[in-house]
Every structure is written in C-alpha cells, then in structure tokens.
Amino acid sequence: MNIQAGFALRGRNPDVLTCIANLSNDEVFTPPEFANRMLDTLAEAWAAHNAGANLWADPTVRFLDPCTKSGVFLREITSRLTKGLADKIPDLDARVDHILTKQIFGIGITKLTSLLARRSLYCSKHANGPHSVAKSFTRDSGNIWFERLDHTWESGKCRYCGASQATLDRGVEMESHAYAFIHADNIKARIAELFGGDMQFDVVIGNPPYQLDDGGHGTSAAPIYQLFVEQAKKLEPRYLTMVIPSRWFAGGKGLDEFREAMLSDNRLRSIADYLSAADVFPGVGLKGGVCYFLWEKDNRGPCQVSTHFKDWPVSAATRPLLENGTDIFIRFNEGVSILRKVIARETGQDTVLSLPDAKRFDKLVSSRKPFGLETKFKGGSKKKSDDDVLVFQNGGTGYTPRGEIPAGNGLIDVWKIFVGRAAPGTGNRDTYPHRIISTPFVAGPGTISSETYLCIGPFASKEEADNALSYLCCRLTRLLILLHKPSQDTTRKVYTFVPAQDWARKWTDADLYSRYGLTDDEITFVEKIVRPMGLESDLLGDVSVDGSDDD
C-alpha cells in the first residue's frame, strides 16, 4: 500500500533525508535522528504535564514548522501520529488524510525547500495531485505554504530582519531570503491569512536559518535565528522547541536583548547543549556548538541543562538559567560549582557570582585596538630611528614611529602581555581539550600591537609580567575564560570571571586548585576541557622583548 510505503516502511536504509547536502552553513538540514531526539523530549514533557497522555494519540493537536526545509520534523511527527492514532481512526487512508490536513502545517523558507518538504510529507510536490497521500486538499501547496516575499527597505536595511539592500535587493529571479515568518508585524494575523482565522498551534518546532545570507561571514554575519524564536513565542503555543546555535549563551552580534529575554524566562524548561555542532550536523562548519530548547507556556520553573560531547557521559543538572550576578548563561554545569568556589575565596560569599573591581583581571585587559591600529596595519620592516617602536602585527612584527601611534601611549613604555584576539584555529570543529586562548607572550617597553592582539597590563617589572603570564597559562584560569567565551573571538569581556592575583609570584594549576579547594572530580573536569599550555614549549619563542632591539 502506498501510504504504508510512505510511513511504515520508510525506516529502510538509506533514508533520503540523511543523504541531502546542506544548502549552506546558514540553512542547515536537520538529520532525522536528531529531529526524533527533539520529538522524544517534547513527548516526555507533554506526558509529564498532561497526566501521562500520549501526544501522538491526540487527533486535535496542531503542529507548525515555521521554517521548514527538508520537512523532516513534519514527516517524523506524521509518522508518529499515524501509529498513535490507529485506535481512534482505524482506517489508514482516513487517518493519514486527517493528520496531514488538520494537524500538520509548515512555512517554507525558499521555493526549493517548500517543494522538498511537500515531497517528504505528501510523497508528491502537488498536495492535491493523484500521487499525494493526502486526499482532501483543494490547493496544490497543501499545508506547506510558500510565496516569494520582498524585504521592506529602510535606509539600506530591511526593517524586519536587517538584511542589506545592497546585497539582497536583486530581482525576482533570485531568492530574496525574506522569510515570511519574521516579516510580519502581527504574526497571529499573518498565520490567519495563511491557514485560517481559527488557527492556534499547540506545538511550534523547527530549525531556523542561523544568519543573514547577505555577504557577512562567520561571526561577523548577523544572526537571525533569534527572530524566529521571538516570533514563535508571540503565537503562544503550548510548546516551542527549536535547534539554534549555542553562541547566544554568552555573546553574538545583536543578541543582548534576546539573551536577557531567554535567560529571564522561566518557561524555558530544558536546554540540550552540544559542544560540537559536528556531533549534530556532520560536515557543517559552525563554531560554538548548537542546542535545542523546550519552552512550555504553562509550566514555569528552573531549567534542566544537559551537555553533550561525542562519547563523554552526558552532564545534566536542573538549575536557574541566570545565576545571580551574571548576565550570561554559564554553559557547563560543573563550571557553576567551580566558579562559586573561586568567587567565595576572593569575596567571602558565593551567592552573587561577580568580582569587585579591585579583584577583576579584566581591568588589566585592553579593549579592541589598544594602540588604535587596525588588523591590516603593517609597520616597516626596518627600524629607522631610535624613535621607532616595535609593532606586533598580523603575520609578524614591524616598526612604526612613536609619534604616529593614535592611542594607548601609557602602555608603550611598560611591561605587558599580548594575547591574540582570535583563539587557536581548530578547523570547522570544536574539539576538547583545547587552549581556549591563543598563546600569550610578554613584551617590554617600546612595544605596541595592532588590533590582532589585546594588551594586558601594565606590570611594574618583567618579573610581574612573567608571573601574570604563568597565571594565564594555568588551565583553571583558562576555564574561567571559557565560561564567558561564546566564540573564537577573545575580547576583554571574556575575562569577567577571572580574578586578579599577586604578581610577585609564579602560578601553577596545583597552586590554584589548592587556593580554591577544587575536588578531584572538578580537577578532572578542568583538565578534560582545557589543554596544557607550557611556558616553554607553547610560547612563541623568546618574545619577552623591548623596543631597544638592534636589527
């Protein structure tokens, strides 16, 4: 029987939706296995708060994927409902038709993906065609809506999504990437236009586009997934679950308001965090990992946080999303207890996870462009006068006249540490243990840097700078940096949780473990996450230099 071939025998390998290449790192197809993991979480929550009821045996529940690509979520939901409703609607043809016409809805993000989703769901690109497994549709698109939209341009940007007019105002022959779900002032009214005025969804589920396809690259591209989450909440579903990049936990361009709203929302009941996106989306270059969350409109409380990485045991804890004194989500469950010990040792209390100004290492760390020089700045290859200073720049060193340095004059003639703005490269995958920061090095009087480096200092002597360098090389120090670090970009803000120390002595991890009273399990965790950084083998040669170097 055709319907049974579509829904009962589809488990044969290979599943076609596991064989489709991603369109880009921005619009990533969800593997069926991962989609089912999300559906399992949803079904468990439904049963827990509906007297043990089986979500898949309810013929009234409505599902919406507002950013459907391959149609995998809707297909897997349909498969589960087909089994779960067998007793209530015994006839298979009638059961499948009811599910597809009354319970399953989607909004395509492009013409291509809308056709793919219809093929996955209806076994035909024509929902009302002779080969469709749904028999009572009158429209070709069925419940998978797509129409090409244009952006609304204001001052060169789309007022809904912020897309660049210069890049995406390119004519009807190309995709506009004006996603319908987020290009609406009143999403409830928009949904009524698409699917009917009485449409209320119980579950919204999906994997939204991650960033604007408008010429940005990597972490410089503007994220867009938060707009789908915010719009979905306005629909007031009973349950909302989406898979999105984990970068929002602590950073991300333009995500401050979104992060604040998410972390203060006690309806966010679970987060499953995957440290490596490759564990979810093989072959996708997405730094910082991904997560999926479950939001429940009528169920408030602390959040169940689970951390997943390759074959490591899953770490799980139920805790507040926002710890007192922080404005980010602390990613690692084990990191919370370690941070509490550090704060308690430095301040005498652990109820507020923040350091007083006098104890904050980040006060020694410069902002971007500590000397006013951009990354592309290149000094001369030769020292031409005694007035020239040594510049640590992208690709090596150079020289520039002291009088042409735009900023940071107070740091030129002191001992300091330079550390790269970008963390060590790990290809397209997040790996552990890793170094967290690029290799720091000591530089003496008469030295500066371009934007490639942050400057840490000043220190009163080379001995103090060397001792501070030993501290940065400690694994525990770099774990505290990681707790506030959302991406490979290492700004002053990521040092927020790092306490300043006594620079009259060298530091080792053994010293720090003892100072903060870490347990054996906590030490094991630190050393599982953070790679050693030896003062001799890892540092960039003998770069404790000053500007008096003779060429």
Domain count, the chain: 2
* Residues 520 and 436 grouped into a single domain: yes
* pLDDT, tens digit, 9 for 90 and up, residues 423-460: 754 444 467 888 899 989 999 999 999 999 999 999 99
Backbone angles phi, psi at 32, to 5 degrees: -55, -40
Mean pLDDT computed over every residue of the chain? 88
Placement of tokens 């540490």 in the chain: 417
Task: For residue 550, tell me if it sits in a domain.
Answer: no
Answer whether residue 541 shows pLDDT above 60: no
Q: Is residue 298 part of a domain?
A: yes
| Mean pLDDT, residues 177-195 | 93
- pLDDT score recorded for residue 214: 56
For residue 549, pLDDT beyond 50: no
Domain-embedded: residue 541: no
Distance CA(339)–CA(330), nearest Å, equals 10
Domain boundary among 274, 302, 322: 322
Residues 366 and 305 occupy one common structural domain: no
At residue 544, does pLDDT exceed 60? no
Q: Same domain, yes or no, for 371 and 308?
A: no
The continuous run of DSSP H or E covering 458 comes out as strand 453-459
The number of residues making up the chain comes to 551
Q: The domain spanning residue 22 has which CATH number?
A: 3.40.50.150
Domain assignment present for residue 328? The answer is no
Tell me the pLDDT tens digit for each residue of 226-250.
999 999 999 999 999 999 999 999 8
Per-residue pLDDT band for 288 (boundaries 50, 70, 90) equals confident
| pLDDT for the residue 534 | 72
pLDDT in tens, 466-523: 999 999 999 999 999 999 987 777 889 999 999 999 999 999 999 999 999 999 999 9
CA distance 383 to 352: 51
379 and 259, same domain (yes or no): no
Does 175 or 303 have the greater pLDDT score?
A: 303
pLDDT in tens, 100-156: 999 999 999 999 899 999 999 999 989 899 999 999 999 999 999 999 999 999 999
Is residue 6's pLDDT more than 70?
no
Residue 536 has pLDDT above 80, yes or no: no
Whether residue 296 contacts residue 49, with contact meaning beta carbons closer than 8 Å, is answered with yes
Q: Is residue 157 part of a domain?
A: no
197 & 300 share domain: yes
Residues 128 and 236 in one domain: yes
Q: What is the pLDDT of residue 361?
A: 97
pLDDT tops 60 at residue 289: yes
83 located within any domain: yes
284 and 395 both lie in a single domain: no
Count CB neighbours of 448 within 10 A: 28
| Rounded CA separation 391/504 (Å) | 28
Q: In this structure, are 417 and 506 located in the same domain?
A: yes
Do both 410 and 511 map to the same domain? Answer: yes
Strands (E), 285-439: 290-296, 303-308, 315-319, 388-393, 396-401, 415-420
Residues 307 and 435 in one domain: no
| One domain, residues 135 and 251 | yes
The pLDDT value recorded for residue 225 is 96
How much is the average pLDDT of 291-314? 94
pLDDT at 10 > cutoff 70: no
Segment 197-218 shows an average pLDDT of: 81
- Answer yes or no: is 174 within a domain: no
pLDDT of residue 8: 45
Residue 507 lies in a domain: yes
Locate 223 and state its tokens.
């994220």
Q: List Cα–Cα distances, 12 to 6, 17, 38, 318, 377, in angstroms.
A: 11, 12, 21, 38, 57
Above 50 in pLDDT, residue 550?
no
Confidence (pLDDT) at 426: 41
Model confidence at 547, pLDDT cuts 50, 70, 90, reads: very low
**Closest Cα to residue 543, out of 439, 451, 458?**
439
Q: Whole domain around residue 291: which residue ranges?
A: 2-147+179-322
Same domain, 313 and 367: no
